[in-house]
Structure 1
Amino acid sequence: MDPRRRPPHLLIDPALPEPISSVLRASPQALRAARLGRFPRRRGPDPVKVIAIAGLLLLMASLSATGGFIAALVLISFSALRGLSDDPENRRERRRVRVAMEHRDRFILPEDLDNDCGDLLRRTQDATESVLASEINRVRLLDTIDNAVTLPDQTWQIARKLVRLSEMKAEHARLVPGAPPPEVAEAFTPYVRALETAELSLTRRVRALEEYARQVRKADGVYRAYQQLQVLAERTPQYEALVAETAEDALTLPGLEHLTEQAQQVRRLFHESIDEARDAARHLLTSAES
């Protein structure tokens, strides 16, 4: 694998309840074990601890010959041995694998995709995270779509289709491992084109999401500049006083007299960038529906 290529990270169906998602997210090893159908065995008691406890109990029994005390020792030893065989970490891991097996279709691992599809999913995740982390999203200036709900759902839908595409490409490679004879090659063409068409369609959806993220980043930068200008506008009298106190009457500071006009221009640019981001979002939704 190209060292510059970043694989996608674990993806969990956003529709799953949070308690289940937390269990799945806690142990990727359990998810891989579930994918391979490997259920952890229940661990037996530690022989060293068993021998130590048994020796201690025998010593205590030798110091007292009363029947009641011996019976109590039997109960204590049974409970101790049972506790030794009940490894908490093993129990937690078995529970995680059991939950993963019950929801095996509700998570996607990096190895579920081939390299090309993995790249597309990583690009999808990067774009989604970029939008959700933006300041204009946090202050809810992007009201065209509910990003917190729509984008994770779209990421999941794209990922499911990428997994399906990876599986069919792998199956096609097994069925047709090499180039078919020239006289029958044309008969295989529709199947190859079907895979290429599906990949092209998913690539376009990813690009639409990336364009939305690009517009959001652009609007984010203008929004921060607009906020900075608002703070400076409130301090304009201080800047003017500084110039009056330190410069000769004949000197002026270019631009101060145009601060209001410039702030209005930035405000217009900010609203234009927000509109462009919203247009990109509408295009994204249209692409998802088609």
Structure 2
Amino acid sequence: MDPRRRPPHPLIDPALPDSISSVLRADPQALRAARLGQVPEARRPDLVKSFAIAGLLLLMAVLSSTGGILAALILIFIAVLRGLSDDPRSLRERRRVRLAVEHGDRFILPEDLDADCGDLLRRAQDATKTVLDSRINQAGLLDTIDNMVTLPAQTWQIATRLVRLSKLRAEHHRLVPDAPPPEVAEAFTPYVGALKAAESSLTRRIRALEEYARQVRRADGLYLAHRQLQVLAERTPQYEALVAETAEDAPAVPDLERLTEQAQQIRKLFHRSIDEARDAARHLLTAADP
């Protein structure tokens, strides 16, 4: 793989309940084991070791007092029970893998995608993260769509279609020779065209998501500047007092007086950037396939 390419993150269907998705997300190795059908077997009890310990304890009991016999019998029972029971860690591991097997169609791993589709999914994940992590999103200023719900759902939909594209493309490469005979080459053209059309459609959708993320990133920077200017505006009297105490710095007074006007311009620019981000979000929803 090209070292400049970053593989996508494992993706969990956002429609899954949190009680399931949190377990799947916490153990990527269990997801891979489930995908490969490698469900750990239950640990076989070590009967020889258990009964050897029990025999030793019984011998000690015989050589001890009546109270020692009772204590030894209790220890024997515990030793045999532990020998017959499964290791708790192994049990948890098997449960996680079995849960992943049960929901095998509700998660996507990097290895489920070919290189090109993996690159597209990573771009979609990066764009989604940019929007969700932005200050303006966390402040509730992007009210065109519910980003916390809509964006993960769209990313999942894109991912599932990329998986199907990867599988069909791999099958196509296995079935179709690199250079079919000229007289039948045209018969393969519609299939090649279908694969290219699907990739182009998904690429356009991801570009719309990236454009939304770009507009959000721009608005985020303006939002930070707007907040900073608000803080400075509250401190304007302190700056004016400082300048008034220093006669030679009098020319700086008009600059401070323009602070309110500049803050208003930044505020207008910020609100305009929010509108542009909302327009990009509406375009993203329009670009989504029905």
Q: TM-score, normalised by structure 2?
A: 0.92
Task: Summarize deviations over 1:126-180 as a string: whole Å, max 9, x none.
Answer: 1111100000001100000000000010010000000000000011011014221
AA paired with 1:88?
A: P
Counterpart in 2 of 1:233? 233
Let me know the Cα RMSD of the aligned residues. Answer: 2.4
Q: Structure 2 CA distance, aligned partners of 1:77 and 1:250?
A: 93
Q: Structure 1 CA distance, aligned partners of 2:250 and 2:264?
A: 28
| Contact 1:45 1:81 (C-alpha < 8 Å) held by counterparts | no
User: In the TM superposition, what is the alpha-carbon distance from 1:62 to its structure 2 partner?
Assistant: 3.7
Q: Structure 2 CA distance, aligned partners of 1:226 and 1:159?
A: 37
Q: Structure 1 CA distance, aligned partners of 2:11 and 2:155?
A: 9
Asked whether 1:153 is paired with 2:153, we answer yes
Counterpart in 2 of 1:277? 277
Q: Structure 1 CA distance, aligned partners of 2:261 and 2:48?
A: 82
Counterpart in 2 of 1:18? 18
Structure 1 gap segments, 5+ residues each = none
Q: Structure 1 CA distance, aligned partners of 2:75 and 2:263?
A: 80
Counterpart in 2 of 1:182? 182
AA paired with 2:134?
A: S
Counterpart in 2 of 1:217? 217
Q: Secondary structure at the match of 2:288?
A: helix
Counterpart in 1 of 2:80? 81
Q: Structure 1 CA distance, aligned partners of 2:177 and 2:76?
A: 62
Q: Structure 2 CA distance, aligned partners of 1:109 and 1:249?
A: 63
Bigger shift: 32-41 or 100-109?
32-41
Q: Secondary structure at the match of 2:182?
A: coil
Change (3 A) 1:15 1:52: same
AA paired with 1:153?
A: A
Q: Secondary structure at the match of 1:255?
A: helix
Structure 2 gap segments, 5+ residues each = none
AA paired with 2:123?
A: R
Q: Structure 2 CA distance, aligned partners of 1:11 and 1:249?
A: 59
User: In the TM superposition, what is the alpha-carbon distance from 1:212 to its structure 2 partner?
Assistant: 0.4
User: In the TM superposition, what is the alpha-carbon distance from 1:252 to its structure 2 partner?
Assistant: 3.6
What does residue range 49-60 of structure 1 map to in structure 2 within 5 Å? 50=50, 53-60=53-60
| Contact 1:144 1:281 (C-alpha < 8 Å) held by counterparts | yes
- Aligned length in residues: 288
AA paired with 1:247?
A: A
Q: Structure 2 CA distance, aligned partners of 1:17 and 1:252?
A: 60
Q: Structure 1 CA distance, aligned partners of 2:44 and 2:65?
A: 31
User: In the TM superposition, what is the alpha-carbon distance from 1:45 to its structure 2 partner?
Assistant: 3.5
Identity %, equivalent residues: 76
User: In the TM superposition, what is the alpha-carbon distance from 1:237 to its structure 2 partner?
Assistant: 1.5
AA paired with 1:183?
A: E
AA paired with 1:119?
A: D
Asked whether 1:247 is paired with 2:237, we answer no
Change (3 A) 1:171 1:57: same
User: In the TM superposition, what is the alpha-carbon distance from 1:185 to its structure 2 partner?
Assistant: 1.0
Q: Structure 2 CA distance, aligned partners of 1:96 and 1:164?
A: 26
| Contact 2:40 2:93 (C-alpha < 8 Å) held by counterparts | yes
Counterpart in 2 of 1:164? 164
Task: Summarize deviations over 1:201-221 as a string: whole Å, max 9, x none.
Answer: 000111100100110010000
AA paired with 1:134?
A: S
User: In the TM superposition, what is the alpha-carbon distance from 1:38 to its structure 2 partner?
Assistant: 2.0
User: In the TM superposition, what is the alpha-carbon distance from 1:64 to its structure 2 partner?
Assistant: 6.5
User: In the TM superposition, what is the alpha-carbon distance from 1:98 to its structure 2 partner?
Assistant: 1.1
Counterpart in 2 of 1:207? 207
Bigger shift: 272-281 or 230-239?
230-239
User: In the TM superposition, what is the alpha-carbon distance from 1:95 to its structure 2 partner?
Assistant: 0.6
User: In the TM superposition, what is the alpha-carbon distance from 1:89 to its structure 2 partner?
Assistant: 0.9
Q: Secondary structure at the match of 1:3?
A: coil
Q: Structure 2 CA distance, aligned partners of 1:195 and 1:289?
A: 16
Q: TM-score, normalised by structure 1?
A: 0.92
What does residue range 124-163 of structure 1 map to in structure 2 within 5 Å? 124-163=124-163
| Contact 2:54 2:80 (C-alpha < 8 Å) held by counterparts | no
AA paired with 1:201?
A: S
Counterpart in 1 of 2:198? 198
Q: Structure 2 CA distance, aligned partners of 1:273 and 1:163?
A: 35
